[in-house]
Amino acid sequence: MSETSLEEYRQLVEKQGWALMDIVQSVALGDMDAKVEIPEGIEVLSELAVGVEMMIDDLREMLAEQERAGAELARRALQLSTAAEVSRASSSILRLDELLPQAVELIRDRFNFYYVGIFLLDEGGQRAVLQAGTGEAGRQMLEAGHALEVSDTSMIGGCVLHKEARIALDVGEEPVRFNNPFLPDTHSEMALPLLSLSEPVGAMTIQSTKMAAFSEGDVAVLQTMADQLATAIANARLFEQTQATLSYAEALYEGSERVVRATTIDDVLQALVHSTLLQRLTRSTINLFDRPWGDERPESMTVVAAWERDAASAAPEGKRLSVSVGVRHMLDQFPATHWFDRDEPRIVRDIATDEHIDERTRILFAEQLGLQSMMIFPLVAGEQWIGVLAAQGNVALDVGEAEIRQITALTEQSAAVIQSLRLLQEAQTRAHREQALREIAAVVAASTDLVAGLPAITEHLCQLIPLDVLTLATYTPGEPEYTLFASPNMRDSEAAPSNMRDSEAAPSNMRDSEAALGAETKADHFARPGIYLPVEGTCPGWVITHREPWLEADIRQEMLFLEDEQLVSEGIISRLSLPLLVGEQVVGTINLTSTQPSAFTEAHLLFLQQVADQMASALDRSRLLQETRSALTEAEATHRAYLQRGWRDYLRQQETLQQGAFLYDRTQGATVLDGLAEPVAGLWLPEMERALAEGLVAATGNGDDGERRTGLAIPIVLRGQTIGVLGVDDPAGEHRWSEDDRAVIEAVGRQLAQALENARLLGETQLRAQRERIIGDIASRVRASMDMKNILQTTVRELGIALGTDRAFIRLNPDTQPSEKP
């Protein structure tokens, strides 16, 4: 090869080599579209170019596979993410009306499906009813109440029936499929069963506009989501059931509580109505039989409580069943008697269509009475069927078994309450009376003469009995008259019996009372406070004499006592008078009158007798208190006299004290402590006179009586008896007495009084001890002799010596009169 040929060859190799290198670099930089041109002329480079081209094709295929794998991974990630979101929604949302629409929208949006819908089985499990659907098609089908039978006539029905997924990759080729006019663009469809504990609760439909849009992976992921939704649906239904049970229990508890709190049969009915669906009906009544329904049917039933919703909802006038309380229905004529059942309620939801109602009864209730529904519940208390709860409505009744069970449970409880209400009312009456007795007892116990407490007693009694006038008579056993105490605002009666007299001779504790022992409520009485009335011929007098109550239903029938004519003229008709007994003695009467006939009963008598016993005790306590006060006054006066006499005797015995006063004068000593404290006679200063006269601290100041001196004095008081006076003075008039000075002298005075009394009592004790010793000595010497003469001689000698007397004597046989005085 020539030199020129070799150079050309070299240049050609270099050119083609660099061209291949550029292609390789482009591919390395990501340009997979680079085109390899096969060079000619150099065989090695041509083969190399073919190899590079094959390599680039392999790289293109490998990158495409990677993209497909990435897309699949992204799709799987999206599916898992969607499944996680559905799972979160399923676990956090318990309301199906929120959960299902959110789930179908989420699945459609994430997977870009044409339509997603969820069906749930109805109560009978025969139909799958659409509960949620996406888009406008879903909204229209929900409004139309779209549902499919559980059968092989549709993919949804088939998947529910067989509990397995159904997939149509080309709906046109699917032999069994519901052709839905709301979804005309569907080309692929998948129906997945919603299984909870291996039992179907519904199905999910997923539709796409693409042919063969679902892979096995799609089916697996979507079935997982369907299972999660099925579990959530089951949980939501369980939650709803729990909530419904809780609501039922709360309603039952509330109704039961209201029934238990009922104090009347009408309260029981109100509790039943407002706690149950009875409030949706037109009217409800409680009807009680005239006797419990056992082997024989009662003759009648009576409406004892009635409720009616409102006039507008009631049937037109002339087409109404009477609901007036007190109405009595004869059971052999009542049209619904044959529906009554002791053990089961009778529910007529629609009278027009109820197959158990004959034509005659239907005409009566629907056309004549305007009723369309009715419920009858038996009232059974224990073993006794005592009546029925009846409710009627003028519209058809939509009621579930749970609501019926609720009313049944409450009527069972209500029957026991109704049966016991009379006993409860009696117990309440007894409780009110006992409370009144306690309050009256408190009033009586707090009063010493019943004056202040009688109006309160009257007020308590008026709440329990039809009382108009209450009076109190006091009586001293053996007297021919008693004293009647009445309200001070009662006017004197012009027709009062002539043998009544004023109570000027009444006991002072009664005569001095500011208010009378009586009370007027509505009518006037014949007597004014403190009138003496004869025992004979009057009603209180009869009670005092016989020690028995007098109960009279109508005074007008026969006027037996002196006061009756006046009572009748004042409008009084009935009367009750009870004795006030202290042991076996009558100390008075309590008298109740009323303007109503037969106002007082035997039951009142038992209760009021307890009130009378309390008032009798109060009168006896008042008497004892007055006697005690009198005795204490006498004892206090006696003690003061004894104390005064004791001090006179004591001062008489003490020579030093006879001078009458002790004086401390510091001007007589060189220092304050050297001042003299000596008895003086005739010491009597102005402040001393004032202190004794006023019984208080007395002071004289500068200018009193024209003197410069100042003085301060207090009485020395011992147990209310003044025994002396203590004072200080300043002849120069320089001292001004302060409150502290007064306090000091008062304290010293109290201590001085007690100290003086202690000293006196000690002296008396010592004197008594000395006398006892002398008596003991005399007695021992007398007992030492056994001779009569020696005994007498020893006695007179020792007595004379002991007493320091000139003579002592003993004379025996006092019946013998001496001829002359000794």
Per residue in 645-654, pLDDT (tens digit) is 666 666 555 5
- pLDDT confidence of residue 531: 82
CB-count burial class (<10 Å; 0-12, 13-18, 19+) for 741: middle
Query: Which of 95-109, 429-443, 514-528 is predicted with the least confidence, judged by mean pLDDT?
Result: 514-528
Judge whether residue 510 has pLDDT over 60: no
Mean pLDDT for the chain overall: 77
pLDDT band at 816 (very low <50, low <70, confident <90, very high): low
Q: For domain 447-628, give the fold.
A: Beta-Lactamase (3.30.450)
Count CA atoms within 13 Å of residue 195 on its CB side.
15
CA atoms within 13 A on the CB side of 249: 6
| DSSP character at residue 38 | P
Q: How far apart are CA 206 and CA 214, in angstroms?
A: 10
Do the beta carbons of residue 129 and residue 119 sit within 8 Å? yes
If you classify domain 93-242 with CATH, what class do you get? alpha beta
- What's residue 82's pLDDT? 58
Q: Roughly what angle, to the nearest 10 degrees, separates helices 602-653 and 454-462? A: 160
| pLDDT value for 725 | 83
- Of 190-199, 227-236, 317-326, 744-753, give the lowest mean pLDDT range: 317-326
Residue 495 has pLDDT above 50, yes or no: no
Which of 61-75, 137-151, 400-414, 685-699 is predicted most confidently?
A: 137-151
Is pLDDT above 50 for 525?
no
Q: Which long-range contacts (CB under 8 A, 24 or more apart) does 701-705 make?
A: 701/736, 701/737, 702/733
Contact 115, 135 (CB under 8 A): yes
**pLDDT at position 664:** 56
Whether the pLDDT of residue 674 is over 50: the answer is no
Decide if 540 contacts 512 (C-beta within 8 A): no
Q: Measured between alpha carbons, how far is 189 from 176 in angstroms, rounded to an integer?
A: 12
Q: What is the pLDDT of residue 491?
A: 35
Rounded-to-integer distance, Cα 424 and Cα 417, Å? 9
**Res. 496 pLDDT band, cuts 50 70 90:** very low
- pLDDT tens track for 80-107: 565 656 556 555 566 788 888 988 888 8
Average of per-residue pLDDT across 25-38: 69
Q: Where are the domains of the chain?
A: 3-66, 93-242, 264-426, 447-628
Q: How far apart are CA 550 and CA 591, in angstroms?
A: 9
Question: What confidence category does residue 802 fall into, taking pLDDT thresholds of 50, 70 and 90?
Answer: confident
Whole-angstrom CA distances from 604 to 137, 153, 433, 470, 699 are: 82, 84, 10, 14, 68
Q: How far is CA 714 from CA 644, 698, 740, 747, in A?
A: 18, 6, 14, 10
**pLDDT at 670 exceeding the cut of 80:** no
Mean pLDDT, residues 711-717 taken together: 84
Quick check: do 93-242 and 447-628 share a fold? yes
Task: Give the range with max mean pLDDT: 178-187, 337-346, 571-580, 622-631.
Answer: 571-580
Query: What band does 688 get if pLDDT is binned at 50, 70 and 90?
Result: confident
Q: Tell the CATH topology of 264-426.
A: Beta-Lactamase (3.30.450)
| Distant-in-sequence, close-in-space partners of 24: CB < 8 Å, separation ≥ 6 | 52
Cα separation, 279 vs 375, whole angstroms: 13
Confidence (pLDDT) at 81:
61
pLDDT value, residue 68 = 65
Cα–Cα distance for residue pair 65/58, rounded to 1 Å: 11
